[in-house]
Amino acid sequence: MTVDALADLLADATRVVAFTGAGISTESGIPDFRSPGGVWTRYDPRDFTFDRYVDSAEVRRNSWAMRREFFAAAPEPNAAHRALAELEREGRLTAVITQNIDGLHQAAGSRNVIEVHGTAREVMCIGDHPRAGIAEGCDFRAPTTWAFERIDAGDDDPRCPRCDGLVKSATVSFGQAMFPEPLEVAAQHATTAELLLTIGSSLQVYPAAGIPEAAKRAGAALAILNDEATPFDRIADVVVRGRAGEVLPTAVATALGR
């Protein structure tokens, strides 16, 4: 389908909710998981499980090194992130639900951002010996730079300054339970949306991928913008196959009459 069909849906809707995945940030230079050159072709997925992080100081050290690589690259929002921020400013978009941990929606100016997989910009205490994927720490949270400063000062496995528990990036790792609150808020937005627009997600990771389905069941129109097919294309009202940073700014500008 064409970009015009997406623009028409956007022009008519006042309660748009965006649901974004790693594909909205590839044009900012952050690789997604599944494409060639993506994260999984360069790191061992077994290192990303919650239990391995808890069990091994070496895994924790590697994880901090990877986070530092990400911060050093200093990724910036692209035209797709900015187009969503503009839709929100114009009063058309009520929330961005994102699977991303990169903080680029906020950097582009989006205000109501629901991060269902947490954020790489902060760290949190997960307690001393958490198990079964559930973080059991105290309420210590800090910017990720706090961990880098500790490491630079010679402490290569920083612990919580309040309770001495393990500290981890405030993201949801494989094998880690989702944070319940953002999922609940995301479900509320999805089920009251007029239009649910998914951008740059393979829609394969549950329970987050259930959000567009829930929106459609609750009566929203569903639009999917992705550069490859997704399992939900057959129930979508509009499917646009293309690059987010090219398609979305055009569709938004057309919808807003600019």
* Count of residues that bind ligand NAD according to CB under 6 A: 28
Q: Which of residues 116-155 bind ligand NAD (CB under 6 A)?
A: 117
Catalytic residue among 81, 105, 117, 189: 117
Site track for ligand NAD across 166-205, x = CB under 6 A: ----------------------------------xxx-xx
Site track for ligand NAD across 216-255, x = CB under 6 A: ----------xxx--------------xxx----------
Q: Tell me, letter by letter, the H, E, C secondary structure of 193-207.
A: CCEEEEECCCCCCCC
If the CB atoms of residues 55 and 206 are measured against ligand NAD, the closer one turns out to be 206
Strand partners, 174: 49
Residue 81 known to be catalytic: no
User: Angle at which helices 244-255 and 3-12 pack, to 10 degrees?
Assistant: 50
If the CB atoms of residues 69 and 139 are measured against ligand NAD, the closer one turns out to be 69
- Give the HSE-up count for residue 120: Cα atoms under 13 Å, Cβ half-sphere: 20
139's CB contacts (< 8 A; 6+ apart) are: 125
Site track for ligand NAD across 88-117, x = CB under 6 A: -----------xxxx--------------x
Under rule CB under 6 A, residue 40 binds ligand NAD: no
Under rule CB under 6 A, residue 25 binds ligand NAD: yes
Q: Which stretch binds ligand NAD (CB under 6 A): 26-34, 51-59, 105-113, 155-163?
A: 26-34
If the CB atoms of residues 188 and 204 are measured against ligand NAD, the closer one turns out to be 204
If the CB atoms of residues 178 and 256 are measured against ligand NAD, the closer one turns out to be 178
Under rule CB under 6 A, residue 34 binds ligand NAD: yes
How far is CA 88 from its chain centroid? 18
Alpha helices (H) along the chain: 3-12, 50-55, 57-73, 79-89, 104-108, 144-152, 180-192, 210-217, 244-255
Strand partners, 96: 18, 113
Give the C-alpha separation, 191 to 213, whole Å.
10
Q: What's the N-to-C CA distance of the chain in angstroms?
A: 21
Give the C-alpha separation, 199 to 21, whole Å.
6
Q: Which stretch binds ligand NAD (CB under 6 A): 3-11, 27-35, 187-195, 232-240?
A: 27-35
- Closest Cα partner for 200 from 249, 251, 245? 245
Which residues are marked as active site? Answer: 117
Task: Give contact residues for ligand NAD (rule: CB under 6 A).
Answer: 21-23, 25-27, 30, 32-35, 39, 99-102, 117, 200-202, 204-205, 226-228, 243-245
